[in-house]
């Protein structure tokens, strides 16, 4: 396969006695859509925050886009995009102002900001909403906007934490079109989800149970290995043994 | 530097979009500066006095009329016995009782000596103290008057007396407003600056937007500056509004240099905003930030020398006030506005406040964590 963009070895995060992420080992390749599955409380968000430089691991090794998660968090941040579970753009700014602000923070020039904004607005079909406050947008559009802002600075990897939670099926489909679009341009997608149909869209997936990665392969191979017909069955077999939960 | 431009642009958009906060920032200082100095008056008037006159003589009448004529006392009771008068104190209708004993006039003339009883309701300490002192003063005057009357003048001359004439500098008419307004303005600037900054970052934490910022390669000091500068500007605007109000309504024109005043405020605001920022880095919710800020504000205000003079505080309290930035601002405001002090005079204050500014902001930057 092509170059490795995420490399983790025994990556662990403890909060006191609680081991949120336990010895995670995985590799993700450039241009891949990697599904990061797990039940609620399995430790997905913790793992993702470590990859993004938002959380410093307790032990283990990891490099993201070639940068170390302990010492080079700011370099990692230059090369990744992140979309958190909770909508976190500014509700009291307009669509355009949000794009401009985050683009500016990533160091885009005024000319780049202008062309990028136009391109995004057209791609998202938000021409009429461009100058409206984000607080007034429906959730589906907010999520699409968040994604677009996360890939604005052309990162190598984009981390999506349950990007389609609470979104209707049509918008989910459109959201995945955006993901494929980005993947085609060579952006690596690292995505968590609870929807098993979405898991099928991924090149490879891992399933986390109680802080550990219990399975990691392509959806097809996983189904073969567990001798079932759907990802749903695979997930159910692994996750029902989970002791944690919200 | 370009990043700061984007941060400022965003911050000002948000500030101007939040009309209610903006109104509060502008209108609050005006209303408070109009209201508070009128109420915050140290002068005690309308002291309720109850007189128990057992003598009913021309001399006792003269004493009573001298007291009521002073303008400080209101005669609320004229009782037959001390017991009756004391009921008035119990029901809080009287602050002072003056008991004039039977034979007041006779003893005064025949024996050259007479004692009076003054009972003070000390629940309201200030009123009791000042009321007692006023009354003692009036009685002393009365005493001198009688000596004039009773003693032949050549004999009187033999008694040496010290006559004190005082002149009031910097505030010749002892106008309390002149004294209070600069102090209140100092508190206002502090409160607005401190609360706004503390709540602002915590609000971003609550909304989750700070996470989206933390995942960008933004430098910590850029982020902090992006928060500091807008509120620094707002603080200066509040200060200018306050100076205008005190000029238009109270006719207070700074005797000293305006440049010095603005220079001091510029550095002082950095210190206060630094405290706000520091608190915000420790708090996760606006409630926490609000309470912690309030805790400091109470101490700052009550131990800042606005209402009670720092000079008359016990030593331990004086030590506490040295760590209170507000006390420096209040004293500098009074020095520059009322006395016309120069840079040389306020240099020690300026030095301490600058240290606060550097210390608090550096701590805030250190304590602001992009990762945990």
Give the one of B13, B208, B218 whose C-beta lies nearest to A105's C-beta. Answer: B218
| Torsion sign (Cα): B317, B323, B325, B330 | positive
The total of other beta-carbon atoms located within 10 Å of residue A217's CB is 15
Give per-residue pLDDT as tens, B252-273.
899 999 999 999 999 999 999 9
Q: For chain B, give the mean pLDDT.
A: 87
Q: Is B119 helix (H, G, I), strand (E, B) or coil?
A: strand
Instruction: Return the minimum-mean-pLDDT range out of A21-35, B88-102, B207-221.
Output: B88-102
Predicted pLDDT at A246: 46
Among residues 13-52 of chain B, which lie with CB inside 8 Å of chain A?
13-14, 17-18
CA distance A223 to B281: 48
Give per-residue pLDDT as tens, B43-86.
677 888 888 888 888 888 888 888 888 888 888 888 888 888 88
Q: Which residues pair with A16 in a beta bridge?
A: none
Residues whose CB falls within 8 Å of the CB of residue B154, separated by 6 or more in sequence, listed in order: none
| Torsion sign (Cα): B67, B73, B78, B82 | negative
CB distance A77–B215 less than 8 Å?
yes
Give the one of A55, A88, A106 whose C-beta lies nearest to B208's C-beta. Answer: A88
Question: In Å, how far is A205's CA from the nearest CA of chain B?
Answer: 24
Predicted pLDDT at B107: 84
Domain ranges of chain B: 2-40+172-367, 47-156
Among residues 197-256 of chain B, which lie with CB inside 8 Å of chain A?
207-209, 211-218
* Residues of chain B contacting A107 with CB distance shorter than 8 Å: 2-3, 217
| Torsion sign (Cα): B13, B15, B19, B22 | negative
pLDDT reading at B153 higher than 60: no
Predicted pLDDT at B106: 85
CB distance A105–B207 less than 8 Å?
no
Predicted pLDDT at B358: 96
pLDDT reading at B223 higher than 60: yes
Domain ranges of chain A: 4-239
Instruction: Return the minimum-mean-pLDDT range out of A85-94, B97-106, B198-207.
Output: B97-106
Question: In Å, how far is A5's CA from the nearest CA of chain B?
Answer: 18
Alpha-carbon distances, residue B163 vs A48, B166, B331 (angstroms):
84, 10, 32
The A212-217 sheet, strands edge to edge: A80-83, A157-161, A188-192, A33-38, A204-209, A212-217
Instruction: Return the minimum-mean-pLDDT range out of A107-121, B92-106, B265-279.
Output: B92-106
Question: In Å, how far is B366's CA from the nearest CA of chain A?
Answer: 16
Among residues 113-152 of chain A, which lie with CB inside 8 Å of chain B?
none
Fold entry, domain B47-156: abc type-2 transporter like fold (3.40.1710)
Give per-residue pLDDT as tens, A198-217.
999 999 999 999 999 999 99
Nearest CA in chain B to A50: B371
Predicted pLDDT at B155: 54
CA distance A120 to A131: 13
**How many CB contacts within 8 angstroms connect chain A with chain B?**
75
Here the tokens at position B245 are 């109000």
Q: Is A159 helix (H, G, I), strand (E, B) or coil?
A: strand
CA distance A178 to A187: 11
Question: In Å, how far is A97's CA from the nearest CA of chain B?
Answer: 8
Alpha-carbon distances, residue A3 vs A94, A186, B274 (angstroms):
38, 11, 46
Please answer whether residues A158 and A82 qualify as being in contact, where contact means their C-beta atoms are separated by less than 8 angstroms.
yes
Q: Is B333 helix (H, G, I), strand (E, B) or coil?
A: helix
Whether B9 has its CB under 8 Å from any CB of chain A: the answer is: yes
Predicted pLDDT at A6: 94
Q: Angle between the B220-250 and B176-207 helix axes, to the nearest 10 degrees?
A: 150
Superfamily of domain A4-239: P-loop containing nucleotide triphosphate hydrolases (3.40.50.300)
CB distance A82–B212 less than 8 Å?
yes
Please choose, from the candidates A157, A81, A152, the residue with its C-alpha nearest in 3D space to the C-alpha of residue A121.
A152
CB distance A102–B216 less than 8 Å?
yes
- The average pLDDT across B144-173 equals 68
ipTM: 0.89
Give per-residue pLDDT as tens, A69-83.
999 999 999 999 999
Whether B7 has its CB under 8 Å from any CB of chain A: the answer is: yes
Tell me which of A51, A78, A86, A88 to substitute to probe the interface with B (most B C-beta atoms closer than 10 Å). A88
| Torsion sign (Cα): A153, A154, A155, A158 | positive
Give all strands (DSSP E) within chain A, no chain letters.
Answer: 4-15, 18-29, 33-38, 59-64, 67-68, 80-83, 157-161, 188-192, 204-209, 212-217
Whether B314 has its CB under 8 Å from any CB of chain A: the answer is: no
């Amino acid at each position: 396969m092509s170059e490795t963009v995420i490399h983790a070895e025994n990556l662990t995060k403890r909060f006191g006695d609680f081991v949120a992420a336990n010895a995670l080992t995985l590799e993700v390749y450039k241009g891949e859509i990697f599904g990061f599955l797990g039940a609620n409380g399995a430790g997905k968000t913790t793992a993702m925050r470590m990859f993004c430089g938002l959380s410093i691991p307790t032990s283990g090794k990891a490099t993201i886009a070639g940068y170390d998660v302990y010492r080079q968090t700011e370099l990692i941040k230059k090369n990744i995009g992140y979309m958190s579970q909770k909508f976190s753009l500014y509700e009291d700014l307009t669509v355009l102002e949000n794009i401009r602000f985050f683009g500016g923070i990533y160091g885009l020039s005024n000319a780049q900001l202008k062309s990028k904004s136009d391109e995004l607005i057209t791609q998202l079909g938000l021409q009429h909403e461009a100058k409206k406050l984000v607080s007034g947008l429906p959730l589906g559009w907010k999520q699409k906007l968040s994604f677009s802002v996360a890939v604005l600075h052309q990162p190598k990897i984009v981390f999506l934490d349950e990007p389609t939670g609470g979104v209707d099926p049509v918008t989910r489909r459109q959201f995945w079109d955006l993901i494929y679009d980005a993947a085609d341009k060579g952006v690596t997608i690292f995505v968590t989800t609870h929807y098993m149909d979405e898991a099928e869209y991924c090149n490879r997936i891992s399933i986390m149970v109680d802080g550990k990665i219990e399975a990691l392969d392509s959806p097809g191979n996983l189904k073969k290995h567990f001798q079932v017909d759907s990802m749903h069955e695979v997930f159910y077999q692994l996750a029902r043994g989970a002791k944690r939960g919200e | 530097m370009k990043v700061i431009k984007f941060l400022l642009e965003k911050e000002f958009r948000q500030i101007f979009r939040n009309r209610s906060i903006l109104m509060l920032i502008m209108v609050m200082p005006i209303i408070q500066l109009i209201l508070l100095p009128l109420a915050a008056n140290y002068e005690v008037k309308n002291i309720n006095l109850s007189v128990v006159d057992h003598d009913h003589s021309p001399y006792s009448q003269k004493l009573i009329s001298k007291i009521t004529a002073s303008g400080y006392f209101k005669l609320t009771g004229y009782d037959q016995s001390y017991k009756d008068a004391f009921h008035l104190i119990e029901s809080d209708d009287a602050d002072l009782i003056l008991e004039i004993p039977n034979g007041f006039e006779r003893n005064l003339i025949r024996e050259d000596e007479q004692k009076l009883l003054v009972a003070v309701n000390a629940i309201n300490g200030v009123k009791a103290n000042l009321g007692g002192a006023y009354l003692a003063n009036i009685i002393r005057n009365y005493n001198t008057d009688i000596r004039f009357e009773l003693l032949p003048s050549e004999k009187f001359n033999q008694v040496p007396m010290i006559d004190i004439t005082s002149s009031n500098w910097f505030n010749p008419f002892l106008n309390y407003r002149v004294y209070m307004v600069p102090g209140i303005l100092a508190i206002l600037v502090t409160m607005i600056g401190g609360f706004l900054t503390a709540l602002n970052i915590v609000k971003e934490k609550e909304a989750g937007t700070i996470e989206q910022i933390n995942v960008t390669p933004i430098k910590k000091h850029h982020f902090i500056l992006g928060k500091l500068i807008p509120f620094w500007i707002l603080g200066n605007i509040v200060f200018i509004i306050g100076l205008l109000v005190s000029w238009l309504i109270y006719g207070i024109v700074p005797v000293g240099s305006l440049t010095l005043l603005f220079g001091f405020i510029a550095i002082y605001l950095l210190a206060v905003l630094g405290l706000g920022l520091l608190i915000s880095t420790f708090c996760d919710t606006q409630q926490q930030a609000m309470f912690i800020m309030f805790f400091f504000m109470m101490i700052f205000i009550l131990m800042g020398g606005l209402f009670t003079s720092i000079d008359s505080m016990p030593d331990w309290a004086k030590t506490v006030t040295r760590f209170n930035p507000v006390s420096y601002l209040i004293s500098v405001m009074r020095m520059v506005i009322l006395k016309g002090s120069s840079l040389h005079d306020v240099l020690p204050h300026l030095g301490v406040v600058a240290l606060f500014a550097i210390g608090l902001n550096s701590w805030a930057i250190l304590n602001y964590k992009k990762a945990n």
